[in-house]
Amino acid sequence: MTMPFVVPRPPEVEPATWPAYGLTTLTVLPLVWRRRAPLAVLLAILAASALYKLALEGPGQPLPYTGLVGVYTIAVLSPPWKRLVTAALLVVAVPVSVWLNTQSARELTFSLFVFGAAYVFGRLHDARQREHRIEAERAAARERARIAREMHDILSHAVSLMVVQAEAGPVAVRTAPERAEAAFEAISATGRDAMAQLRQMLGVLRERPESGTAPREPQPDLAGIPELVARVRASGLAVTYATEGGVRSLPSSTGASVYRIVQEALTNVVKHARAHTIDIRLTCEESVLRVTVTDDGRGPQAGSGGHGLVGIRERAAAHGGTAAMGPGPGGRGFEVRVLLPVATGPVPSTAEVGA
């Protein structure tokens, strides 16, 4: 609207006046409230524009910019009924404006096109926003599920070991006091480890006041499996752990999932299997990591839950792998078999931890 101050109007056209500029400004001011009441703002813009056209001959604009902004905002923010009212309003207002101006079919076609384009762009922007919200909600749901699995694995494993040790404690006190002391130490160590892992997990949910970000602690990986085996072995089970083919360096997320898979398989054995021996084997083939946990117990029983086995399947599927559970070799015991795709590369030497 300030263009005539920069580029003078043609001599045959009457110069713009200050009242014309003031009335033109009234078509812009309502945009301040366009997000709060977009339809009311559009009505105010149309009313000011009509008054401008009927009462004054001012500088004008080649395009009704403020009206286009109003239509775009309605298309983005307003419910369907307000968008329908806007469409009906434009069907009347645009032809009237053209009739008051040039009365040409060209201007009518162009005006309808630009207002339609503003509406379409607004709807496209709203669709993108909704897609982003949906994706954010899905990401939050995935994160909640991941945290729930982590906390289930941590608590279930720790509590199962503590229960086994606590049940063995009274018997050991009467028969072998030195073993009772070891059992109590194992309970204490298991509880401290569970508390440390839970603090790490809850730290992800808690925001730091000074930075607004949650602390990120290292996740467990393959290097933590021997310590995991040692804790289960302290409960009285004979546990062996071996790697074959050389286990490659894995991404942190994959390594953490392998650790949790082994942890949950051990937890199921401790809670349900009544086993005496467990064999854990990690076999790295050409492009697959095979995780096998075999015991000589009875396997999960009806009514024993099953969330842990579901979690194992979910973790495997998250990395494009598969998980199967069933009787062990020869139909004896129970076996968990997980296949995870891994990147090919140099293979380090084999490592083994015995009973």
Q: Which of 290, 311, 291 is nearest to 300 (CA)?
A: 311
Q: Using 50, 70 and 90 to split pLDDT, how confident is the model at 292?
A: very high
Distance (Å, whole) CA 65 – CA 51:
16
Distance (Å, whole) CA 271 – CA 266:
9
Average pLDDT over residues 68-88: 89
How much is the pLDDT for 210? 45
How much is the pLDDT for 236? 79
Domain endpoint, select from 66, 86, 103: 103
Tokens 């922007």, residue?
125
Looking at the structure, do residues 228 and 355 belong to the same domain, yes or no? yes
Beta strands in the chain (DSSP E): 238-244, 277-284, 288-295, 322-327, 334-341, 352-353
pLDDT tens per residue, range 7-31: 666 666 666 667 777 777 777 888 8
How much is the pLDDT for 15? 65
Position 66 in a domain: yes
Q: Using 50, 70 and 90 to split pLDDT, how confident is the model at 347?
A: very low
Look up the CATH number of the domain holding residue 303: 3.30.565.10
How much is the pLDDT for 50? 75
pTM of the model: 0.52
Close Cβ partners of 275 (under 8 Å, ≥ 6 residues apart): 237, 269, 295, 296, 297, 298, 333, 334
In this prediction, what percent of the chain has a pLDDT beyond 70?
76
Domain endpoint, select from 103, 124, 154: 103
Position 47 in a domain: yes
Position 155 in a domain: no
Looking at the structure, do residues 99 and 226 belong to the same domain, yes or no? no
DSSP H or E run through 112: helix 105-175
Domain endpoint, select from 49, 78, 103: 103
Position 246 in a domain: yes
- Domain membership of residue 78 as a residue range: 3-103
**Mean pLDDT lowest for which of 64-68, 135-139, 216-220?**
216-220
Q: Using 50, 70 and 90 to split pLDDT, how confident is the model at 185?
A: confident
Position 157 in a domain: no
Distance (Å, whole) CA 150 – CA 249:
22
Sort strands 238-244 and 277-284 into parallel, antiparallel or unpaired: parallel
Give how many domains the chain has, as a whole number. Answer: 2
Encode burial over 83-122: b for 16+ CB neighbours within 10 A, e otherwise: beebeebbeebbeebbeeeeeeeeebeebeebbeebbeeb
Close Cβ partners of 252 (under 8 Å, ≥ 6 residues apart): 218, 219, 221
Position 233 in a domain: yes
Position 191 in a domain: no
**Mean pLDDT lowest for which of 49-58, 141-150, 158-167, 260-269?**
49-58
How much is the pLDDT for 306? 56
- Please count the other Cβ atoms lying within 10 Å of the Cβ belonging to residue 289: 24
Burial class (CB in 10 A: 0-12, 13-18, 19+), 244: middle
What angle, rounded to 10 degrees, do the helices at 38-55 and 18-26 form? 160
User: Could you tell me if 203 and 187 are in contact, meaning their C-beta atoms sit under 8 angstroms apart?
Assistant: no
Position 108 in a domain: no
**Mean pLDDT lowest for which of 84-93, 302-311, 327-336?**
302-311
**Phi and psi angles of residue 66, each rounded to the nearest 5 degrees, phi first:** -65, -40
User: Could you tell me if 297 and 250 are in contact, meaning their C-beta atoms sit under 8 angstroms apart?
Assistant: no
Q: Please enumerate, as own/partner, the contacts of 321-326 that have beta carbons within 8 Å and a separation of 24 or more.
A: 323/261
Tokens 């199962």, residue?
160
Close Cβ partners of 259 (under 8 Å, ≥ 6 residues apart): 219, 220, 221, 222, 224, 225, 228
The overall average pLDDT reported for the chain is: 77
